Structure 1
Amino acid sequence: MLQFRIQLALCWLLGAVSLSTTRALSTPSSRTVAPGNSIIPGSSIAVKIDRAAAVSSRSLGDIKSVEQLIRNAQKDSRLSKREVEFTVHPLITTVSPKRITQLVERATVLNPDYVPTDFSTWYQVLFPEPESEDNQTLHDLLATLSGYQEVASCHPLGGGILPAVDPSNDPLFPSQGYMTPAGEGINALYAWGFPGGDGANTTIIDIERGWKLDHEDLVDANITLLAGLNVKDRYQSNYRHGTAVLGAMLMVDNNIGGVGIIPGAQGHVVGVTRVVGGGPFENYPEAILDAVDALGFGDAILLEIQVPDANGNMFPVEIIDAVFDAISLATSLGITVIEPAGNGQQDLDAPILCIGSATPASILNPSSPEFRDSGAIMVGAATSTIPRTRVLESNYGARIDVHAWGENILTASVAGSADDIDTYLPFDGTSGAAPIIAGAALSVQGMISANRGTKLDALALRDLIKIDGTPTSNPSVDKLGVQPDLRALIDGGHLL
């Protein structure tokens, strides 16, 4: 008998102290939670069904089928949520099915290699219980599901972790050296001397958990929340992380603070935290589709999340199947996606054991038959001083396209017990390197637009920013690719 082919993912998030919320792509509204309180979210599972297999097995492959599958897993699991009620919803609720179909059809036309995803086959199962710190009950549920003949794969959808922003472990860097000439930086200052080099006529959306959008050096950039929640959690990492990311790209060229790599670009943000079925829950694929729906050919998305494997090591977020599907749609539509490689000290060429998977798979090794390419620009992190080498925490491997500084990245930040004081502090890790690369990519895209009157698709831009870049001192060991050199691209005539 043909089997269901089901892909499952788990998501949970940290508690929040204050939230700003908006319907997808609408004017943001807000609500406030009293200081000291926190919202403890429930956990959710995303389910993808092969409807052809479902019909053959006398199932409709609909919400009722998913409900029955979860009930069976509850009964069979040793620990997992046996008496807990749940609700089932479509995985994507903020972009209409008609609009998703239009996007998929357009991607198929623009990219003949794109394998269309039927997003209507994805569902989310919402549990009202907050997840325990070790997530053991849901891990047990995933283990049970992975043993079913009907289950093709199961793994986390959410549960991503923001690399810590810890200014105390670095002396305050006196300047933004990541923009200096090649050998050290990406040569952004040189690019500013050419039309479009400041990112003019480009748009980028940062996807993560939270930002201080009224920071003194960001407020005049007019960065808007397009969808999801703006979460400042009880651990006070979200605002510091998101504000630092935006600052490296978009700090305004004025008389205060610093200046971003692409101050001429238009920035927006989309929150991964959503309210559905009584939420909040995290939903990375929906956040990506919200961004895709708001962007056009030649625009960009920055994904600032890393996720754990079954052993707790940090990896790029695209190891989650639903996220991979969403990224692939974006890049096939000509939208560049920039993705941190993660701070797990892991060799991405090695097999990865995803949560819920029975065996490891080499999905990020370009030499493996198991490899899959989302089309994203994957970013590693290197030291800021010469000789430049891989920073200790950065993942590495042949899949990584480019790298940038992973330490001493002076940028906008926040301070104080309520994260309400504007300041400027060092940022680090692959989360710090990724906005530098996003800035380099959109500087190139801006100059291409100014020179040619057109823009590059995601794969062409990914290939271009590698040309004549600066390697680390030991490329075969560091396995980070090159750091883009904007001057080399300009002077080499590659942008004409």
Structure 2
Amino acid sequence: MRSPAELIVVTHGAERPIGPIALRENDAGRSQVAAALPGGARLSPIFGPADRLPGRLRGTDQEPVGAQYLNYFAVLGVAEDLEAVAEQLRENDAVAGAYVKPSAEPPIAPLSTAVPSAAAAPPVTPDFQARQGYLDAAPAGIDARWAWTRPGGRGAGVRVIDIEGAWRFTHEDLAQNQGGVIGGEPSTDDGWRNHGTAVAGEISGDVNTFGITGIAPEATIRAVSVFGPGSATAIRTAADALSPGDIILIELHRPGPRRNYQNRADQLGYIAIEWWPDDLAAIRYATARGVIVVQAAGNGGEDLDAALYDTRPSGFPESWRNPFRGGAEDSGAVLVGAGAPPPGTHGSDHGPARSRLAFSNYGSRIDAQGWGREVTTTGYGDLQGGTDEDYWYTDEFSGTSSASPIVVGALACYLGITSTTFETRNPAHVRQMLRATGSPQTDAVGRPATQRIGNLPDVRAMVGEQ
């Protein structure tokens, strides 16, 4: 259940406005790199056609340095020996960096074992909303039920694009307010498909008398697959399809340097994808355009404040700095950790409510948390199964996978309620509100609240009502 590894090249180029000089320099560098590629390989500009970039960046804080986005390319058509090709490209004078990104995975909790029930689905699906405790009032949930009583509180007018691998938009509880897949080629893997279906249900499952109800059911949800374009191009594609105040959700993580970038079943050492230069640039591009980016922090059990992440890998451009440090290097995204649901949820106890789950990454860079266990939503089939996936539901969606859509749903409710106030749609303002409000993280044995995953959102508190 992994996406292909990706070979990325960054050419030299000054941070300046996009003009004739920058375009000529970029064309020359691109031609030089293309000539050095093995047969059948080609360069694909991550930020699209150069003549469209000035318009997309006009009026943003990235316009004065927009030429930097011309420098990022994915190398397509190389199936084997990616590391060898990257090493060869790094010897080219036109190349500032060349590196291989390991396969990305959906950040569902490690070793999750949800198994579809073989029992036939009933003629009419029961109403499972009572099992969705994350909809409840704070501090147990995010107070989505209160938000639904307010004008716009079901996410009206908010558009969301989910970036991962596959979805089942024919599901009975995803018939409304969804626009399908708008980029990439969805994987045929059932793990990706169930994962995307579960994410979509959490955010915008339909309002009806059966199944689940999404946190922000009037928000429109679409999807971009990383299969084909890769993660950074997928983020850029989503950003170009959205407007200020809309939301991108990145449901991916990948193995980091702690364990030599190796894919592992236990996911130890996995980190948020913003650490890689092209993904970082794509997220900055999106937030500069006013799009709110919400990103899974990853399930590696990692302290993202560790000095390890300050070390620049040899293939990264010399200009790269660790985005987990925030400040000038900040991506602008909302980073989400995984917290425990209230003890007793579905008969389970994962520790004190809102305490860090052991697999969740943590650190000062993380902005907010969501439930990382016991999330009831569409997909997987352990709660209701049968032979037709369109009627599948789960009680066991997990990981920073299940936590991140909870934060997205809370933001969509908040944005719908405050839609007439431009300030509330600013990515920096939204992140500040998540940090300033919400139900506080708690201590667990061996996992103190100093291992930061942030607060669980509280929509009512974000809106400013008691």
TM-score (norm 2): 0.80
Q: Which residue of 1 aligns with 2:425?
A: 456
Partners of 1:169 and 1:347 in 2: CA distance: 31
Partners of 1:117 and 1:197 in 2: CA distance: 40
Q: CA deviation at 1:273?
A: 1.8
Q: Which residue of 2 aligns with 1:185?
A: 141
SS of 2:7's equivalent in the other structure is: strand
Decide which of 273, 277, 283 is 1:317's aligned counterpart: 273
Q: Which residue of 2 aligns with 1:251?
A: 205
Partners of 1:51 and 1:183 in 2: CA distance: 49
Q: CA deviation at 1:220?
A: 2.6
Give matches, 1:330-409, under 5 Å. 330-350=286-306, 351-352=308-309, 356-357=314-315, 362-366=322-326, 372-385=329-342, 387-388=352-353, 389-409=355-375
Q: Which residue of 2 aligns with 1:205?
A: 161
Spell out, residue by residue over 1:167-225, the C-alpha distance to the aligned partner (whole angstroms, 9 max, x if none): 54999996111111212111111111111111011111111110001011002333322
Partners of 2:91 and 2:131 in 1: CA distance: 54
Partners of 1:433 and 1:427 in 2: CA distance: 9
Q: CA deviation at 1:97?
A: 2.8
1:48 to 2:10 alignment: yes
Partners of 2:116 and 2:161 in 1: CA distance: 28
Q: Which residue of 2 aligns with 1:291?
A: 238
Measured on the aligned residues, the alpha-carbon RMSD in Å equals 3.4
Partners of 1:167 and 1:260 in 2: CA distance: 23
Q: Which residue of 1 aligns with 2:416?
A: 446
SS of 2:450's equivalent in the other structure is: helix
Q: Which residue of 2 aligns with 1:473?
A: 442
- Any conservation in 2 of the 1:414–1:421 contact (CA below 8 Å)? no
Q: CA deviation at 1:150?
A: 7.0
Decide which of 241, 244, 258 is 2:195's aligned counterpart: 241
Q: Aligned AA for 2:232?
A: P
- Any conservation in 1 of the 2:170–2:390 contact (CA below 8 Å)? no
- Any conservation in 1 of the 2:135–2:145 contact (CA below 8 Å)? yes
1:300 to 2:257 alignment: no
CA change 1:212–1:385 in 2 (3 A) is same
Partners of 2:187 and 2:130 in 1: CA distance: 30
CA change 1:192–1:417 in 2 (3 A) is closer
Partners of 1:122 and 1:192 in 2: CA distance: 42
SS of 1:364's equivalent in the other structure is: helix
SS of 1:399's equivalent in the other structure is: coil
CA change 1:59–1:89 in 2 (3 A) is closer
Decide which of 431, 454, 458 is 1:485's aligned counterpart: 458
SS of 2:285's equivalent in the other structure is: helix
Partners of 2:26 and 2:293 in 1: CA distance: 37
Q: CA deviation at 1:51?
A: 4.0
Q: CA deviation at 1:67?
A: 3.5
- Any conservation in 1 of the 2:203–2:216 contact (CA below 8 Å)? yes
Greater Cα shift, 406-415 or 428-437? 406-415
SS of 1:155's equivalent in the other structure is: strand
SS of 1:449's equivalent in the other structure is: coil
CA change 1:355–1:86 in 2 (3 A) is farther
SS of 1:220's equivalent in the other structure is: coil
Q: Aligned AA for 2:34?
A: E
Q: Which residue of 2 aligns with 1:269?
A: 223
Spell out, residue by residue over 1:410-454, the C-alpha distance to the aligned partner (whole angstroms, 9 max, x if none): 11004479983531112111111000000111111111115x477
SS of 2:106's equivalent in the other structure is: coil
Q: Aligned AA for 1:64?
A: S
Partners of 1:214 and 1:295 in 2: CA distance: 23
SS of 1:444's equivalent in the other structure is: helix
SS of 1:210's equivalent in the other structure is: coil
Q: Which residue of 1 aligns with 2:406?
A: 436
Give matches, 1:160-179, under 5 Å. 160-164=104-108, 166-168=112-114, 175-179=131-135
TM-score (norm 1): 0.75
CA change 1:195–1:186 in 2 (3 A) is same
Partners of 1:262 and 1:59 in 2: CA distance: 43
Q: Which residue of 1 aligns with 2:121?
A: none
Partners of 2:26 and 2:153 in 1: CA distance: 55
SS of 1:380's equivalent in the other structure is: strand
CA change 1:445–1:154 in 2 (3 A) is same
Spell out, residue by residue over 1:203-249, the C-alpha distance to the aligned partner (whole angstroms, 9 max, x if none): 1111111000101100233332212212222xx21101100110100
- Any conservation in 2 of the 1:309–1:354 contact (CA below 8 Å)? no
Partners of 2:417 and 2:249 in 1: CA distance: 20
Gaps of 5+ in 1: 1-11, 15-40, 71-83, 132-136, 275-281
CA change 1:245–1:191 in 2 (3 A) is same
Q: Aligned AA for 1:98?
A: D
Spell out, residue by residue over 1:76-118, the C-alpha distance to the aligned partner (whole angstroms, 9 max, x if none): xxxxxxxx6342223238x44332221122323xx79x85353
CA change 1:308–1:424 in 2 (3 A) is same
SS of 1:183's equivalent in the other structure is: coil
Spell out, residue by residue over 1:243-300, the C-alpha distance to the aligned partner (whole angstroms, 9 max, x if none): 01101001001012010000011111111222xxxxxxx4222211211111111111
Spell out, residue by residue over 1:445-486, the C-alpha distance to the aligned partner (whole angstroms, 9 max, x if none): 111115x47752111111122223111213643311111111
CA change 1:88–1:357 in 2 (3 A) is closer
Partners of 1:297 and 1:428 in 2: CA distance: 30
Partners of 1:408 and 1:254 in 2: CA distance: 22
CA change 1:92–1:150 in 2 (3 A) is closer
Q: Aligned AA for 1:443?
A: C
SS of 2:185's equivalent in the other structure is: strand
CA change 1:139–1:317 in 2 (3 A) is same
Partners of 1:102 and 1:330 in 2: CA distance: 14
Partners of 1:96 and 1:149 in 2: CA distance: 23
Q: Which residue of 2 aligns with 1:62?
A: 29
Partners of 1:145 and 1:288 in 2: CA distance: 25
Partners of 1:355 and 1:418 in 2: CA distance: 47
